[in-house]
Homo-oligomer: A and B are copies of this chain.
Amino acid sequence: MRERSARTNPLTVDVVLATAMGSELGVLLTRGSGERERWSLPWRLSQAGEIMDIAATKVAQDALGEPPIWIEQIGAFGDGKRHPSDAEISVAFVGLVPHETASPRAGYTWFPMGDHPPLTPRQRAMVEAATKTLQGRLDQAPIAFRLLPLTFTLSELQQMYELLLGKRLHKASFRRALQAAWLVEPTDEWRSEGRGRPAQLFRYSPKKRRRPHRGVRFDFLYP
């Protein structure tokens, strides 16, 4: 992150980095180096000719030491809302980081996504949009899998879905749907988590495509 210089480049790339923090999502914020008492999303000025996805990955890498395991553009935000830079427009990305990997560098801290320090209006809009993007993509991309370590128990996977969807799921239904989708494969490892029966570990390993040749759905939400 450099000094404000909106005159030469009125464009920033901002990244909403998300991880699973226990029972809720976390977002990574930074107070910057010598800046005043104000948290912000990690960002950088866009450089001429630079590919935006790569810029976003670099922003994440500066914050965490390694690139996020999944990243996607959310959109362009402008509309007069303020930003830590004076950039006219900021292009926002969401990045996912498994909790293991998620050790931030100095100056960066994880906050609960639903309860973080105040941000500028523009960046607040980005965090909200990121949450929506994640929820919306949940059944189109392996969001939940990317937030988990390489191997995980089915209960952990279900909890991740519950966290992202914000509602409880029935165990048997969840597993039945998961089986039908051919997305996980058992390892030969088991994990004993204190009390109950040990759980088998699985890994994300999509096998065959199941074509959802369903009809139409009218699931909106207007207008």
Hey, which bits of chain A sit against chain B, CB under 8 A?
A: 9-11, 46, 48-49, 51-53, 73-76, 78-80, 88-89, 91, 138-142, 161, 165, 169-170, 173-174, 177-178, 180-181, 183, 206, 209, 212, 215-223
Which residues does chain B contribute within 8 Å of A170, judged by CB atoms?
215
Which residues does chain B contribute within 8 Å of A220, judged by CB atoms?
139-142, 206
Minimum Cβ distance to chain B for residue A22 (Å): 21
Which residues does chain B contribute within 8 Å of A223, judged by CB atoms?
142, 206
Q: By DSSP majority rule, is chain A's interface helix, strand, loop, or mixed?
A: loop
Minimum Cβ distance to chain B for residue A140 (Å): 5
Contact B78 A51 (CB under 8 A): yes
Which residues does chain B contribute within 8 Å of A52, judged by CB atoms?
76, 78-79, 89
CB closest chain-B residue, reference A220: B140
CB closest chain-B residue, reference A13: B76
Minimum Cβ distance to chain B for residue A102 (Å): 21
Which residues does chain B contribute within 8 Å of A51, judged by CB atoms?
78-80
Which residues does chain B contribute within 8 Å of A215, judged by CB atoms?
169-170, 173-174, 177
Minimum Cβ distance to chain B for residue A45 (Å): 12
Partner of A91, one of B76, B138, B218: B76
A–B Cβ pairs within 8 angstroms, 21 of them = A10-B11, A11-B89, A46-B88, A46-B89, A48-B88, A52-B78, A53-B79, A73-B76, A74-B75, A75-B76, A139-B216, A139-B218, A139-B220, A142-B223, A174-B215, A174-B216, A177-B216, A181-B219, A206-B222, A206-B223, A212-B217
